[in-house]
């Protein structure tokens, strides 16, 4: 109960001071599209100063190039994502399929992702669920996402609160706060709260089909255990990213 009160207070304090929103992280592999009986498609190509994953600096300071292609029709969407480290020592390929639904101010999705790590000759399968609600005061959006790893047999949760601003018709700005909780997903890391991050993002629309995006995020580690290998990358650090996006 004390942990829950701490989480609620910290997020409320942040949003009262700053406003807030979900950051436009270009290394988040897939956009869950809900196309209302029409066909939609989206692609992006981006660069990340670090590979931020589960609150960890997954590539130990190395940057990440990444790209994706997503297709959607009505409640269904799917896509492919590829990421490669700047020193070419790491690459990752993901295939995703998701179902989504929108009911008034609520949005839901359920998804499956197959992950391949060619250089390590390894793979994993993940199931994910998410819900978001847009009816909070101050135009905030709150969302809860959970990913279950078949390989690790554990789940990672992320709770985010978001505020978006539209200073111009062709410019979106966001501020966000996120907590991450590990329950065996990072199998060699500690369970419980893992990180808290504050971020900002921007999207500049240049045409109907072409946009530029960027974000910056600072993440604070929560209770890392130096005796656990999975917590070695769990630390306080800043990262940012840039990307181009296409809708066609």
For 134-180, how does the pLDDT look when each residue is reduced to its tens digit (9 = 90+)? 999 999 999 999 999 999 999 999 999 999 999 999 999 999 999 99
Q: What proportion of the chain, given as a percentage, has pLDDT over 70?
A: 85
Tokens of 15: 């949003």
In angstroms and rounded to an integer, the radius of gyration of the C-alpha atoms of the chain is 18
CA distance 205 to 209: 8
Our CA angle for 99, 196, 238, nearest 5°, is 100
**What is the separation of C-alpha 213 from the centre of its chain, rounded to a whole number of angstroms?**
14
CA distance 25 to 42: 15
CA–CA dist 108, 76 (Å, integer) = 12
SS3 215: strand
Instruction: Evaluate if residue 15 carries a pLDDT over 90.
Output: no
User: 121 Cβ partners below 8 Å, 6+ apart?
Assistant: none
Least reliable range by pLDDT among 12-26, 96-110, 204-218: 12-26
Q: What is the pLDDT of residues 180-210, one digit of tens each?
A: 999 999 999 999 999 999 999 999 999 999 9
Domain that residue 154 falls in = 2-247
CB contact at 8 A, 25 and 68: no
Rounded to the nearest 10°, the torsion over CA 183, 189, 195, 199 is -100
**In angstroms, rounded to a whole number, what is the distance separating the alpha carbons of residues 52 and 58?**
6
For residues 22 and 37, which has the higher predicted lDDT (pLDDT)?
37
- Give the chain's domain count: 1
- Residue 38 is predicted with a pLDDT of 78
State percent of the chain over pLDDT 90. 82
Q: Which of 237, 192, 189 is nearest to 217 (CA)?
A: 237
Q: What is the CATH number of the domain that holds 133?
A: 2.40.160.40
pLDDT digits (tens, 9 = 90+) for 65-74: 999 999 999 8
Q: Please give the Cα distance from 58 to 62 (Å, whole number).
A: 9
| Contact criterion met (CB below 8 Å) for 176 and 201 | yes
Are residues 99 and 75 in contact, defined by beta-carbon separation less than 8 angstroms? yes
Task: Report whether pLDDT(3) > 70.
Answer: no
Residue 59 contacts residue 84 (beta carbons within 8 Å): no
Q: What is the pTM assigned to this prediction?
A: 0.86
Model pLDDT, residue 14: 37
Q: Which pLDDT band, with edges at 50, 70 and 90, does 37 fall under?
A: low
Structure tokens at 94: 């993901």
Give the C-alpha separation, 21 to 217, whole Å. 12
């Amino acid at each position: 109960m004390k942990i829950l009160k701490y989480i609620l207070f910290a997020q409320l304090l942040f949003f009262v001071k700053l406003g807030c929103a979900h950051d436009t992280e270009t290394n988040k592999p897939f956009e869950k599209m809900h196309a209302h009986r029409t066909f939609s498609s989206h692609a992006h190509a981006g660069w990340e100063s670090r590979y931020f994953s589960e609150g960890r600096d997954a590539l130990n300071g190395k940057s990440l190039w990444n790209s994706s292609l997503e297709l959607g029709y009505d409640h269904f969407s799917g896509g492919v994502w590829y990421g490669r480290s700047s020193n070419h020592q790491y690459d990752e390929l993901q295939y995703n399929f998701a179902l989504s639904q929108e009911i008034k101010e609520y949005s839901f999705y359920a998804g499956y992702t197959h992950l391949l790590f060619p250089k390590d000759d390894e793979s994993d399968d993940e199931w994910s669920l998410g819900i978001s609600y847009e009816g909070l005061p101050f135009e905030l959006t709150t969302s809860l996402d959970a990913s279950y790893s078949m390989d690790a047999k554990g789940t990672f949760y992320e709770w985010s609160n978001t505020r978006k601003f539209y200073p111009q018709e062709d410019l979106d700005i966001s501020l966000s706060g996120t907590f991450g909780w590990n329950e065996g997903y990072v199998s060699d890391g500690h369970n419980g709260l893992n990180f808290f991050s504050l971020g900002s993002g921007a999207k500049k629309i240049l045409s109907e089909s072409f946009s530029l995006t960027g974000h910056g995020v600072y993440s604070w580690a929560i209770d890392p255990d130096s005796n656990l290998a999975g917590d070695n990358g769990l630390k306080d650090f800043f990262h940012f990213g840039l990307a181009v996006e296409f809708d066609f």
